[in-house]
Structure 1
Amino acid sequence: MRVVSAVTAGLGLVGLLAGPGAAADLPGSGAPKPVRSAVGWGPCSAEQKELNEAGAECAKVAVPLDYADPRGRTIDIAVSRIRAKSSGERRGILLSNPGGPGGTGLANTLALRPALKDVADHYDLIGFDPRFLGESTPLTCGEAPQPAPPAETTTPRRDFGKSVRSARDTARRCQEHGDNAELLPHASTRNVARDMDAIREALGERRLSYYGISYGADLGAVYTQLFPHRSDRIVLDSSTDPAATQYELFQRSGAPAEAALDGLGGHVRDDVLKLLARAERHPIPVKNVRLDAPLLRILLKQLVQHEEYDPQLVSVVDDVKKAAAGEEFEPGPALSGLLDLLSSPELADSMTGGAIFMCGDGGWPAGGWPKKPATYWKNMQRSRATQPVFGPYVNGMIAPCAFWGTEPREPGTRIRNDVPVLLLQAKYDNNVPYEGALALHKKLRGSRLVTADIRSHGVYGRGTSGLTPVPCADGAVNTYLRDGELPRADITCAKPNLKPNLKTTEKTQ
């Protein structure tokens, strides 16, 4: 029987001005002029087929492992570039980050190009893999043991104990592997922001423009705080409350997810509750996989994020009902696709990257993971009264951070500046709730907020993922990146005519 680790899958299914040029203010506010790059560009690796086909160049930029010791050990950051079409109308460089934490981004700006339309012609599109991820200097944890298949019978307490053991083992494997003890303290959002500025400096640019989604939005906010005078046109999509801890951010996603499930009708909720009650005692076999309650909650949380996925969510519930009844059937594409995604090596790598940054982060926000397993269990059980479907997941998700052996080197970044920023947020986002964007909006005093009246995680360029575009939001972003014009006031985009999405899986940010 194939084993899918619910603990691993669950991780992704959420100061100092040290750094290149940070001390100097920029004269003037005009568009940056292109400067000859000192970076040694060449073809991208064979794995980056789309970048090579698009005519991109790739390179490595050396940055300090520890920015407090700029002459010490260095690591490499993998960078890609697609040149602006017209040097005469070139605005500068546009970096991006796809979220995570733990997501690689070498080809991410290329993926944005269809949404950028003609705006892409005015920027060198710069992708990069954050430190320790992808083609940058890697940081890997020791090989995980093959988990045992779920037993035919279980209990919520037994499932929780299994997640505690898995989290403790992940922390041990990451701390003890190779020279990770030296590397891990430097895996932080602050340092990724500093790496972004090192890329800017290596490319000979006075400023950088940026688009980031989810964790990438949080990263962009940190950049504006550390390097306000290096920030050009900054777009932050689906951000979080900068004052909340990471665990609090997980917890806050439970209530809006429950509300989203209610929107599908009482019969769907009733079916889900019956299936969870069954899975908490007798994991449900689906072909060669056995679904316990933690894994079933993860599948549902993945699908409830976007309204266009509602038909797939209903399909998954129907399939699991058939499995629970002992029927012979072939799982539909939604359930099959999700199970394939959750057991994929790519997602496992992404989740390891997420743990590395969530646990070592002094950037956004600082730590915030309770150390005692009893705290998670207590919160998990309390949540059942008001959040019976998603409460046990978001409150009981004990990350490896609870057992991490190192503390962040720096405190969390306090966001408060007047850098012009365009914020985007879906009003019914149940991954990073709307209130978090409102909180960040108050801290970024020069920002404007574009609200999309939809249930979604991510607002800009939804059409590139097969979702329904929000033209009002796409237009606001492209106008800002093209002309430098923020909306005069906050705006709310009317709900588009949503069409069911045909794709069955999408990684969360």
Structure 2
Amino acid sequence: MRFTLPAALAVGVSTLIAGPTPAAASPPAEQLVWRSCPDEDLAKAGAQCAEVTVPLDYSAPGGRTVKIAISRIKATAGPKRGILLGNPGGPGGAGLGYLLSLRPALGAVADQYDLIGFDPRFLGESQPISCGTPPPPGQPGVRTNPRKDFDSAIESARDLAERCHETNAALLPHASTRNAARDMDAIRAALGAGKLSYFGTSYGADLGAVFTQMFPARADRIVIDSSTDPAASQYELFQRTGRPLERAMDEWAAWVAGHHSTYRLGRTATEVRDTVWRVLKHAGHTPIPVDGNRISAHVVRLMLKQSLHNQEHNPALAALVRDLVAADAGTLTKPGPELAAMLGLLTSPELEASLVGGALFMCGDGGWPAGGWPKNPRTYWHNMQRSRAAEPVFGPYVNGMIAPCAFWKSTPREGGTAIGNNVPVLMLHALRDNNVTYDGALALHRRLAGSRMVTADIRSHGVYGRGAEGLTAVPCADEAVNDYLRGGALPTGDITC
């Protein structure tokens, strides 16, 4: 099973916020020093790595600078098309090896481009920000309740915000999607390219849209997969996933009911739902003991949410829930691989870095204060309680996930980006995406007047290159992307796969 952080524990969505959109002047090219890449997979692929120097503050180009780590796999076939950058999303995801992961899906198209990966500023190898030493990981008590768990989440968010401010106050205002787009343009200039082509997914899709707005003349062939509504705040985007997640739960429950002999979770979708609800209700007062951990209702909801993103994960989620049912009954001797993998993810040493990376860009984007996150914890609690009737499983999670942005002390240096242009863009989205909703992508599609949309009738977060990830491929979507990157012509109209 593939999971994404910080989407798992932060918000998993990004936003493009209305505001002024002056484009920065193209930075001068610099002489890059290429070396072997420290990443083993990149080194095996023959990639080289370098650093591009960019201003910390583009309004003060002679001031402090930041080093952006990039990788390059040179084109091997002619005629060379140019450079193809990529971003895997997050926000907060490092992308030095991202284009290498897309290479199997790109096939022969990859040979026509210099494939350029990069870690956005303050992430990965690009002068990463650390927010001090986190407190020891906590566990819920043997007995708890929804209010106690909520108050604990508030304190965790507040702690991360305070630690980031104490250690990086001068840097935080410069972590933003607009500056990431400017850094992309600086990479383009450093590589001596007149334009850049681009593939971005999730937050990376939104970053690509921002680039087209800020640098329309420098956009070559732009592909964005799984984007969001540019008029919505981050918190609104997260709230909007509640009902699609409930529908995904219904879809999964029907599948599990058809495999009752294997999982024993219920013979009908309603019975399966009831089984999940019993686990959630019990965990809300008596966290489930598993392998030295105690799993709260909030974490159960998180596990369900992450596993519902892709329809191919139905069996893995069923096995995970089966283990939770057994653990709740006191009969689980050892967690299976699915539950063990999820527990490993939640307790991994990389978790703090993922949370910090997500917070930097969620909280650094302007427009609304700190990306539209309400400041008053009562707002989240009220929305949680109000959502329970219509969205019993996921309403409390998507309405009550309070981000560090609610307590962020840094003020964004500029507003966000109002999207509205006719730059040619190829968009992709899954019809039943429950991480970033389809209607949000349609809203962006309308604002990108030169775009074409490829819709896949699947439950997935991400459409292109699924086969390379061990998921079911969407051939017509893969072909549409590769045809566009190869030939430069968008489809004559929108496509449904």
Q: Which band: TM-score by shorter chain? A: over 0.9
Residue from 10, 31, 38 that aligns with 1:38:
31
Tell me the CA shift for residue 408 of structure 1: 1.3
Structure 2 counterpart of 1:165, which letter?
E
2:6/2:91 contact within 8 Å kept: no
Task: Identify the match of residue 277 of structure 2 among 273, 288, 294.
Answer: 273
Q: Identify the match of residue 341 of structure 2 among 337, 341, 345.
A: 337
Aligned to 2:63: 72
Shift of 1:8: 9.6
Q: Distance in 1 between matches of 2:212 and 2:21?
A: 13
Q: Post-superposition shift, 1:298?
A: 0.4
- Residue of structure 2 equivalent to 1:505: none
Alignment of 1:483-498 (within 5 A): 483-493=487-497
The alpha-carbon deviation at position 329 of structure 1 amounts to 2.5
Tell me, in whole angstroms, the C-alpha distance in 1 between the residues paired with 2:183 and 2:6.
30
Code of the residue aligned with 1:65 in structure 2: it is: L
> Which of residues 118, 130, 134 is equivalent to 2:124?
134
Matched, 1:386 2:365: no
Q: 1:414 to 1:364 in 2, by over 3 A?
A: farther
Query: Structure 1 CA distance, aligned partners of 2:156 and 2:346?
Result: 16
Change in 2 beyond 3 A, CA 1:38/1:17: farther
Q: Does 1:370 align with 2:374?
A: yes
2:211 is the alignment partner of 1:223? yes
The reply to whether residue 258 of structure 1 matches residue 258 of structure 2 is: no
Q: Structure 2: how far apart are the matches of 1:200 and 1:8?
A: 28
Instruction: Pick which of 416-425 and 331-340 moved more.
Output: 331-340
Match of 1:504 in 2: none
Q: Is residue 2:173 matched to residue 1:185? A: yes
Do 1:244 and 1:365's aligned partners in 2 also have CA atoms closer than 8 Å? no
Q: 1:213 to 1:9 in 2, by over 3 A?
A: closer
Structure 1 counterpart of 2:26, which letter?
G
Which residue number corresponds to residue 22 of structure 2? 17
Taking the aligned partners of 2:72 and 2:392, their CA distance within structure 1 comes to 47
Distance 1:144 1:327, change over 3 A: same
Give the whole-Å Cα distance in 2 for the aligned partners of 1:413 and 1:261: 34
SS in 1 for 2:246: helix
In the other structure, the counterpart of 1:327 is 331
Superposed CA deviations along residues 300-327 of structure 1, whole A, max 9, x for unmatched, are 0000111111111111111111011111
- Number of residue pairs matched? 471
The answer as to whether partners of 1:241 and 1:436 remain within 8 angstroms in 2 is yes
Secondary structure (helix, strand or coil) at the match of 1:21 reads: coil
* Counterpart amino acid of residue 199 in structure 1: I
CA 1:237 to 1:365, structure 2 compared with 1: closer, same or farther past 3 Å?
farther
SS at match of 1:182: coil
* Aligned equivalent of 1:154: 144
* Unmatched runs of 5 consecutive residues or more in structure 1: 1-5, 24-35, 494-509
Cα deviations across residues 91-112 of structure 1 (Å, max 9, x unaligned)?
0000000000010000000110
8 A contact 2:21–2:417 mirrored in 1: no
4+ runs deviating over 4 angstroms: 6-9, 363-366
Amino acid at match of 1:171: A
**Which of these residues, 194, 197, 200, is aligned with residue 206 of structure 1?**
194
Aligned partners of 1:12 and 1:351 also within 8 Å: no
Pick closer, same or farther for the CA change 1:8–1:84 going to 2, 3 Å: closer
Whether the aligned pair in 2 keeps the contact of 1:8 and 1:348 (CA below 8 Å) is no
Cα offset, 1:284, TM superposition: 0.6
Picking from 155, 164, 179, the partner of 1:174 is: 164
Per the alignment, residue 73 of structure 2 pairs with: 82
> What is aligned with 2:258?
none
Counterpart in the other structure of 1:30: none
Q: Is the 8 A contact 1:104 1:134 kept in 2?
A: yes
- 2:85 counterpart of 1:95: yes
C-alpha spacing 1:348/1:466, structure 2 compared with 1 (3 Å): farther
Q: Indicate the residue corresponding to 1:424 in structure 2.
A: 428
Match of 2:260 in 1: none
Shift of 1:22: 8.3
Aligned-pair CA distance for 1:347? 3.4
Contact preservation (8 Å) 2:432, 2:458: yes
Question: Which piece of structure 1 moves more, 264-273 or 103-112?
Answer: 264-273
Counting only pairs closer than 5 Å after superposition, residues 334-483 of structure 1 correspond to structure 2 as: 334-362=338-366, 367-483=371-487
Q: Once structures 1 and 2 are overlaid, which stretch shifts more, 253-262 or 321-330?
A: 321-330
The one-letter code of the counterpart of 2:230 is P
State the 1:286 CA deviation: 1.1
Give the CA deviation at 1:13. Answer: 5.1
Query: 1:92 touches 1:122 (CA, 8 Å); kept in 2?
Result: yes
Give 1:501's aligned residue: none
* Runs (5+) with no aligned partner, structure 2: 14-19, 254-268
TM-score (structure 2 length as normaliser):
0.92
**Residue 165 (str. 1) matches residue 155 (str. 2):** yes
Q: CA deviation at 1:20?
A: 4.2
Which residue number in structure 2 is paired with residue 143 of structure 1? Answer: 133
Give 2:315's aligned amino acid.
P
Report SS of the residue matched to 2:86. Answer: strand
The CA distance in 2 between the partners of 1:285 and 1:76, in whole Å, is: 45
C-alpha deviations, 1:118-175, integer Å up to 9, x for none?
0001000000000000001121101111133210000100000000111111100000
2:44 corresponds in structure 1 to 53
Instruction: Name which of structure 1's ranges 120-129 and 400-409 shifts more when overlaid on structure 2.
Output: 400-409
Could you tell me whether the CA contact under 8 Å between 1:20 and 1:201 is conserved in 2? no
Is residue 288–residue 295 contact of structure 2 (8 Å, CA) maintained in 1? yes
Q: State the Cα distance separating 1:332 from its structure 2 match.
A: 1.4
Deviation at 1:346, TM superposition (A): 2.2
Q: 1:477 to 1:51 in 2, by over 3 A?
A: same
User: What amino acid maps onto 1:244 in structure 2?
Assistant: A
Name the aligned partner's letter for residue 123 of structure 1: Y
Report if aligned partners of 1:20, 1:198 keep a CA contact under 8 Å in 2. no
Q: Which stretch shows the higher mean deviation, 137-146 or 466-475?
A: 137-146
Q: Please tell me the residue identity of whatever aligns with 2:215.
A: F
CA distance, structure 2, for counterparts of residue 16 and residue 462 of structure 1: 34
SS in 1 for 2:275: helix
The letter of the residue matching 1:51 is L
| SS of aligned partner of 2:115 | strand
User: Is the Cα–Cα contact under 8 Å of residues 288 and 296 in structure 2 kept in the other structure?
Assistant: yes
Deviation readout 1:439-478 (Å, 9 max, x if unpaired): 0000000000000000000000011211110000000000
Q: 1:217 to 1:401 in 2, by over 3 A?
A: same
1:303 aligns with 2:293: no
**CA distances 1:19-56 after superposition (whole Å, capped 9, x unpaired):** 34289xxxxxxxxxxxx9831111112xx000001110
